[in-house]
Amino acid sequence: MTPRFQFNVSASDGAARTGVIRMQRGDIRTPAFMPVGTAGTVKAMQPENVRSTGADILLGNTYHLMLRPTAGRINRLGGLHKFMNWDRPILTDSGGFQVMSLTELRKMSEQGVEFRSHLDGSKIMLTPERSMEIQRLLGTDIVMAFDECTPFPATEEVAKSSMELSMRWAQRSRDGFDSGADHAGRAALFGIVQGGVHEDLRFRSIDALTEIGFDGYAVGGLAVGEGQDMMFKVLDFTMPRMPADAPRYLMGVGKPDDIVGAVERGIDMFDCVMPTRSGRTGQGFTRFGPINMKNARHKDDDRPIDAACGCPACSQYSRAYIHHLIKSSEILGAMLLTWHNLQFYQDLMAGLRGAIAEGNLSRFSEDFRANYGRGDIEIL
How many angstroms separate the CA atoms of 23 and 3, rounded? Answer: 6
How, if at all, do strands 58-61 and 90-93 pair?
parallel
Contact 192, 170 (CB under 8 A): yes
Give the three-class secondary structure for 149. Answer: coil
Distance of CA 137 to CAs 64, 81, 130, 183, Å?
Answer: 14, 11, 10, 9
Active-site residue, from 13, 93, 141, 215: 93
Greatest pairwise CA separation for the chain in angstroms? 63
How many angstroms separate the CA atoms of 150 and 108, rounded? Answer: 13
Distance of CA 206 to CAs 15, 248, 262, 358, 379, Å?
Answer: 18, 12, 18, 31, 50
Known catalytic membership, residue 271: yes
How many angstroms separate the CA atoms of 346 and 217, rounded? Answer: 22
How, if at all, do strands 16-23 and 5-13 pair?
antiparallel
Active-site residue, from 271, 301, 306, 347: 271
Please name every residue paired with 20 in a beta bridge, in sequence order, or none if there are none: 8, 29
Known catalytic membership, residue 141: no
Distance of CA 170 to CAs 20, 109, 127, 161, 332, Å?
Answer: 25, 15, 11, 14, 43
Q: Is 240 exposed, middle or buried (0-12, 13-18, 19+ CB in 10 A)?
A: exposed
The CA-based dihedral angle spanning residues 33, 36, 40, 42, taken in that order and rounded to the nearest 10 degrees: -90
CB within 8 Å of 142: residues ≥ 6 apart:
23, 57, 89, 90, 91, 92, 187, 188, 189, 190, 215, 216
Report CA torsion sign: 8, 11, 15, 19: negative
Catalytic residues: 93, 271
